[in-house]
């Protein structure tokens, strides 16, 4: 797969980015089965083996479960995280049982929300960068 430099960052990425919206299905926490988790892990590995190194996330994917499932898959594959670029997005506050504090769907681009979302995403993805 072709690769490109990411601006002047020194990072190199595949030209295609693997969208992770449905890696964990689109399920609420508690309805996710070990079989679904394994299927998601296999999808991530298949994408990597096909040449993808750049994976796209958003905190709301899978009703706020996809980043965590992706992170668990990475934890089972030592060294894989260092060969990938991960991006994630935030700002939408979706109403779901996984976030009972969200009373209404809204958008939040405040510094506090972005920082909080980033810290949670890093934790869920089992990474510090």
- The tens-digit pLDDT sequence of the chain (129 residues) is 899 998 999 988 999 999 998 886 666 555 667 888 888 899 999 999 999 999 999 998 888 888 988 999 999 998 999 999 999 999 988 888 777 777 788 899 999 999 999 999 999 999 998
Q: Can 61 be counted among the known catalytic residues?
A: yes
Task: Find out whether 65 and 98 touch, Cβ atoms under 8 Å.
Answer: yes
Beta strand 85-87 pairing with 18-19: unpaired
Which of 18, 52, 61, 64 does the annotation list as catalytic? 61
Cα-atom radius of gyration of the chain, to the nearest Å? 15
Neighbouring-strand partners of residue 4 = 13
Mapped onto helix, strand or coil, the DSSP state of residue 73 is: helix
Task: Provide the angle, in degrees to the nearest 10, between the axes of the packed helices 34-49 and 66-75.
Answer: 70
Neighbouring-strand partners of residue 13 = 4
């Amino acid at each position: 797969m072709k690769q490109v430099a990411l601006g002047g960052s020194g990072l190199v990425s595949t030209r295609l980015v693997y969208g992770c919206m449905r890696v964990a299905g689109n399920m609420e926490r508690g309805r996710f089965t070990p079989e679904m988790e394994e299927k998601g892990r296999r999808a991530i590995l298949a994408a990597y083996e096909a040449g993808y190194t750049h994976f796209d996330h958003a905190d709301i994917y899978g009703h706020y479960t996809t980043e965590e499932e992706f992170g668990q898959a990475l934890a089972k594959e030592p060294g894989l995280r260092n060969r990938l670029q991960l991006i994630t997005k935030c700002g939408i506050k979706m109403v779901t049982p996984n976030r009972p504090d969200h009373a209404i769907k809204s958008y939040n681009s405040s510094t506090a929300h972005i920082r909080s979302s980033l810290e949670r995403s890093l934790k869920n993805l089992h990474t510090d960068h």
